[in-house]
C-alpha cells in the first residue's frame, strides 16, 4: 500500500469516527429531551407492531421468571405469548 493510499484510508477512518461521534452526541442530546419522548408517545402504532413489542416484553418476562423458578408466572406469561402470537400470525398470512 502506498503512502497516498494510506492517507486516503486514514482520512476515511477518521471521517467515519467523527460522524459516529456526532451521531452519538446527537442521540444523547435527543434522548434527554422531553420533546423527543413526547413525540414517541404520539406515534400511532398499528396492532401488528404493538403485538411484536408485547411479544418481546413477554419473552423477557418469561426469561426472568424461568431464572427465578417462578413457574406459575411462566404459565401465565406463556398463555399471553400464545395469544400475542395469534395476533401476529393473522398479519403474516
Residue-wise pLDDT for 33-66, tens only, equals 666 656 656 666 788 888 999 999 999 999 999 9
- Decide if 59 contacts 81 (C-beta within 8 A): yes
Query: pTM (2 decimals)?
Result: 0.54
Q: CA-CA-CA-CA torsion for 32, 36, 41, 45, nearest 10 degrees? A: -120
**% of the chain at pLDDT higher than 70:** 80
For residue 74, what are the contacts with CB-CB under 8 A and spacing of at least 6? 62, 65, 66
Question: Residue 20: pLDDT above 80?
Answer: no
Q: How does residue 89 score in pLDDT terms, banded at 50, 70 and 90? A: very high
pLDDT at res. 45: 74
Predicted local confidence at residue 29, as pLDDT = 66
Residue 70 and residue 76: Cα distance in Å, rounded?
10
Residue among 40, 77, 37, 82 at smallest CA distance from 57: 77
28: cell is 444523547
Say whether pLDDT at 68 is over 70.
Answer: yes
Position 17 scores a pLDDT of 84
Amino acid at each position: 500500500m502506498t503512502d497516498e493510499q494510506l492517507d486516503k484510508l486514514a482520512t476515511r477512518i477518521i471521517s467515519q469516527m467523527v460522524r459516529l461521534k456526532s451521531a452519538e452526541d446527537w442521540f444523547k442530546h435527543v434522548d434527554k429531551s422531553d420533546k423527543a419522548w413526547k413525540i414517541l408517545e404520539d406515534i400511532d402504532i398499528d396492532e401488528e407492531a404493538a403485538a411484536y413489542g408485547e411479544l418481546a416484553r413477554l419473552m423477557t418476562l418469561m426469561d426472568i421468571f424461568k431464572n427465578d423458578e417462578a413457574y406459575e408466572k411462566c404459565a401465565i406469561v406463556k398463555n399471553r405469548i400464545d395469544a400475542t402470537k395469534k395476533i401476529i400470525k393473522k398479519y403474516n398470512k
